[in-house]
Amino acid sequence: MIPGEPCSGPHWPRRITVLGATGSVGRATLDLVAEQKGRFEVEALTGGRRVRELAALARTFRPRFVALADPAGYAELRELLAGTGIEVAAGEEAVVEAAARPAELVMAAVVGVAGLRPTLAAVRRGALVALANKECLVSAGELFVREVETHDAVLLPVDSEHNAVFQALAGGGRRHLERIVLTASGGPFRTWSAEEMARATPEQALAHPSWRMGAKITVDSATLMNKGLEIIEAHHLFQLDEREIEVVVHPQSVIHGIALFTDGSMLAQMGPPDMRIPIAHALAWPSRLCTSVRRLDLLELGRLDFEPPDPARFPALRLAREALRAGDGAPTVLNAANEVAVAAFLEGRIGFRDIARLVEEALASALACAVPRDIEGVLALDAEARAFTRARIAAAAGSGAS
Ligand code: NAD
Ligand code: MG
């Protein structure tokens, strides 16, 4: 799924599009673009709702096209960019159009399944796709992989663990790979008791000890669902069986991923917990950039710790493995239920432990046995699983339970 060594490097400047430009990964991408003067030209930028932030980025990076997912912001965006010559559009289709425009590389950094159609638009024109948006690969699974193969697109993993394994594979080769290790920081609740976790507030869940990220993935890191989604992501990217993907809690977050080869060698990729490192790797692939990102000081770090994840306090990891083993619609349902539950938790409508409980309920429903035949089928199942989970939340609220 991921590429081997190509015969030639990039031709600078490289033309790129950033989907989800106003988010955490999108901004980190544009930080690098600003630092690497003359290396990149921006074809298109997209955002969800934050009109002013998107307009400010457009004024700085001068893309040809800007798209806002929320149609309600169209008039304001047009006004803010009047006189710049930048083409402006809004609505879901406009985001898809941004991805379809002729950029050599597309950074897919929308959060959630909302990124599936735009990311596929880039895949379908055979682009280099720097993939941060793990939910689209989790949700559409084999169908997404088939699209990548059919259109000769290239997936460059941006998720730090997968990027680490991708880099390690350059030193060992996919043929000799035995298994991989994905590291997890353990999140803010690594040392909390189950009772304390049950009372955790959104604010506490958002206080991640090592990474600064968007709200959804930060909550996923607190439940360890993020690592569960990453197991499914790794399965598709590296064509590995679920049992060949190990998860180890590593609180320092400096070893991001490890490839174990058939001769017993382990190749790990290390670096400070800064997304600009995997993003830089993907942006310049198969070359490398010279960045100003902080270097890791091993003596300051002093030690590396590893521990097993606790299955009792973090059931999400088991649920993701079960969904991957079950196949069919289960990963789609897992992802959809999780997106709805995380949003409800952030709005204070459910408790922290309800997130995994709601995902488990959705996986136990008949929906998980559905077999989506195409991408439209995936999106329809995603919508059904969302409705199912919303109904469970409403029912629990009606009965007074949390
Ligand atoms: P974020 O919430 O900070 O940003 C999300 C972006 O998507 C924003 O630009 C937002 O406007 C846009 N968006 C939201 N809803 C949209 C919609 N319906 N249509 C179009 N655009 C929409 O999220 P993030 O932390 O940058 O994460 C982005 C993706 O990258 C996620 O899939 C996440 O799992 C993955 N990822 C993030 C990190 C990280 O460090 N933040 C690390 C690894 C992987
Ligand atoms: Mg990750």
At 373-386, the pLDDT tens digits run 999 999 999 999 99
Provide the phi-psi class of 84: left if phi over 0, else alpha when psi is between -120 and 50, else beta.
alpha
| Domain residue limits, the chain | 14-158, 327-402
Tell me what pLDDT residue 401 has: 58
Alpha carbons 248 and 306: distance in angstroms, whole number: 6
CATH dotted code for 327-402? 1.10.1740.10
Alpha carbons 166 and 163: distance in angstroms, whole number: 5
Answer yes or no: is pLDDT of 8 > 90: no
Closest atom of ligand 1 relative to the 213 alpha carbon: 41
Q: Which one of 19, 22, 25 would you pick to mutate in the ligand 1 pocket, going by the greatest count of ligand atoms within 8 A of its CB?
A: 25
Give the containing element (helix H, strand E) for 244.
Answer: none
- Nearest ligand atom owner, CA of 256: 2
* Cβ < 5 A residues, ion ligand 2: 159-161
Answer yes or no: is pLDDT of 5 > 90: no
pLDDT category at 4 given cuts 50, 70, 90 is: confident
Closest atom of ligand 1 relative to the 118 alpha carbon: 20
Closest atom of ligand 1 relative to the 50 alpha carbon: 11
Which residues have CB under 8 Å from 41's CB, separation 6+?
A: 13, 14, 15, 16
Alpha carbons 183 and 198: distance in angstroms, whole number: 24
395 CB burial (10 A radius; 0-12, 13-18, 19+): exposed
Q: Which one of 46, 97, 111 would you pick to mutate in the ligand 1 pocket, going by the greatest count of ligand atoms within 8 A of its CB?
A: 111
Q: For 263-302, write each residue's pLDDT tens digit.
A: 999 999 999 999 999 999 999 999 999 999 999 999 999 9
Structure tokens at 21: 């430009």
Closest atom of ligand 1 relative to the 229 alpha carbon: 34
Alpha carbons 188 and 197: distance in angstroms, whole number: 10
Alpha carbons 225 and 20: distance in angstroms, whole number: 21
Q: For 128-162, write each residue's pLDDT tens digit.
A: 999 999 999 999 999 999 999 999 999 999 999 99
327-402 shares the fold of 14-158 = no
- Nearest ligand atom owner, CA of 219: 1
Alpha carbons 377 and 402: distance in angstroms, whole number: 32
Answer yes or no: is pLDDT of 67 > 70: yes
Residue bearing the CA closest to ligand 1, atom 41: 213
Q: For 307-354, write each residue's pLDDT tens digit.
A: 999 999 999 999 999 999 999 999 999 999 999 999 999 999 999 999
Structure tokens at 337: 């239920």
pTM of the full predicted structure?
0.98
Distance 47 CA to ligand 1 centre (A): 9
Domain 14-158 has CATH 3.40.50.720: yes
- Lowest-pLDDT choice from 128-132, 178-182, 396-400: 396-400
- Cβ < 6 Å from ligand 1: which residues? 20-26, 47-48, 50, 69, 95, 109-111, 114, 132-135, 159, 211, 213-214, 216-217, 275
Q: Which one of 110, 165, 335, 342 would you pick to mutate in the ligand 1 pocket, going by the greatest count of ligand atoms within 8 A of its CB?
A: 110
